[in-house]
Structures are given as C-alpha cells and as structure tokens.
Homo-oligomer: A and B are copies of this chain.
Amino acid sequence: MLYNPLTCKLEQVVDLAHEDRVLVDALCSEDVTEVGAKRDIVRNGEVPDKVHLILEGWAARYTVLPDGSRQITAFLIPGDFCDLHVDILEKMDHAIGALTPCRVAHLDPEVLERITSERTALTKGLWRMTLIDSAVLREWIVNVGRRDAYEAVAHILCEMHLRMKAVGLVEDDTFSLPITQEELADATGMTAVHINRTLKRLRSEGLVEQHHREMTVLDVGGLREAGGFNDDYLHLRQSRRGRGHPA
C-alpha cells in the first residue's frame, strides 16, 4: 500500500521494522469494503467476527439512550480501529456509524492474534494506540462535563487538527472536517443551535475558516487558548523528539 494510515499511527508510538510494515500492509488489504455515509459499520449488539479499521473517511462511535438522544464518544479517522477489543467482547456495547463514505479494512482476528504473539514492536504499538485512545476519552469526559460550548468546540477542533496531522491528512493547517453541527452537538452534549453560534464566534474571532467541509485553523495559538487545549494527552511523537526514542 502506498499510504497506510495504520502504519502512520503505529510509527507515532513504536519503531517498525520493514517486515512489520509489510505485515501491516498485508493485514489491511486482504478484505476491504466501502460503507456509505450514515450507514453503520458495526451495529450495537453485533458480535463482530472481524476487526474493522478505517482506511478512508470519518466515522463515529455512538450510543443511543433509551430516550432517543445520541451521545458520540469518539470520531474515528483513517488509521483508527472500530473494535480492536473484539476478542474480549461478547457483543458490541455501542455502534460505529460512517459519517462520510468510508473504506474499511476487515482484519482477521486470528492473523492479528498470531502477529501480536510474534511481533513485539507491533504488539506494543497496538497497546500504546489503545492507551492513547484512553487519554483522548478522558479529555472528552472533561469536555462534556466541564467545558462550555465555546471551549468544548475549540478543544475538539484542536484535537482533530492534530490527529489528522498525525496520519498525514493536513495541508497548510487545512483538513477535511466532514461532520455536521448535529454531530458536533452529539459529541459535546450540547444543542445544535449552541454549536452553530459557537462556530460563528470562532470564525468571527479569526481563529478558524470554513469552506464547505474544509476547516482551516488560522490561529493555532488562539484556538488552543480558546479551548484550554494542551496536546500532552495525544502523546504525539513529534513532541517527544529530542528526548530519545521510546523503548
């Protein structure tokens, strides 16, 4: 594969040997499907027999509450796993829905199992990816629980900017942000009206610019300040350079 977002992500957390890269490429290209926007990639209650990995497009993890309200708990971008925890799962405890058309790789859990028994760096890389996902989840709890709409939206834009950059999908601080205001509202526990007002304010303050589904961060420092954003929790390798490589 010319571009493998999973390789990008793994290389943020471990050094991969050429053989590891070949393995990851093979794993990701065996069984690939296209999923249309607004379709579920994995349904709630499903017992997935494959591990799903986003190769292209955006998706969301979400839970629907008994009263019908929806809470998004993560946005998934290229290189993100939908259900790496398949082997500890009885069945899915939430759903994954495609927000845009997605290209999804279906990985054979047995092959993944074999790889993780044999390739130490890969196993550590996958585990570290999981640890970083947990750090992101902790930030979302803070975002949903204690930040107002202005801070929460600025914070999420800072996060998506850096996460897209880490998989090579940002150019000149511009990236595709294919999510609706309803989806942003479901991610932050706010109303869509609130989100609309907030995005307007961020634009009028010259922090961001939006053209169709492209977001440009005009003032990275200003946006970070607006969101009270600190990128420590993303554990990006760039910011660790100079400290020597992790083991």
Question: Which of B61, B85, B232, B240 sits near A93, CB closer than 8 Å?
Answer: B232
**In the bound complex, do residue A134 and residue B134 qualify as a contact, i.e. CB atoms below 8 Å apart?**
yes
Nearest-CB residue, chain B, relative to A243: B90
Q: What sequence of 0s and 1s flags, for each residue 112-133 of chain A, a beta carbon within 8 Å of any chain B beta carbon?
A: 0100110010011011101111
Residues on B with C-beta less than 8 A from A243 are 90
Known: A88-B246, A91-B232. A140 touches B141 (CB 8 A): yes
How distant is the Cα of A147 from the Cα of B66 in the complex, in angstroms?
10
Question: Which of B113, B135, B138, B189 sits near A145, CB closer than 8 Å?
Answer: B189
Interface SS of A by simple majority: helix
**In the bound complex, do residue A138 and residue B90 qualify as a contact, i.e. CB atoms below 8 Å apart?**
no
A74-89 residues at the B interface, CB under 8 angstroms: 74, 84-85, 87-89
Residues on B with C-beta less than 8 A from A133 are 134
State the number of copies, please: 2
Determine if A94 is an interface residue (Cβ-Cβ < 8 Å).
yes
**In the bound complex, do residue B146 and residue A71 qualify as a contact, i.e. CB atoms below 8 Å apart?**
yes
Question: Which of B70, B90, B123 sits near A123, CB closer than 8 Å?
Answer: B123
Determine if A193 is an interface residue (Cβ-Cβ < 8 Å).
no
Question: Which of B73, B89, B128 sits near A85, CB closer than 8 Å?
Answer: B128
Determine if A142 is an interface residue (Cβ-Cβ < 8 Å).
yes
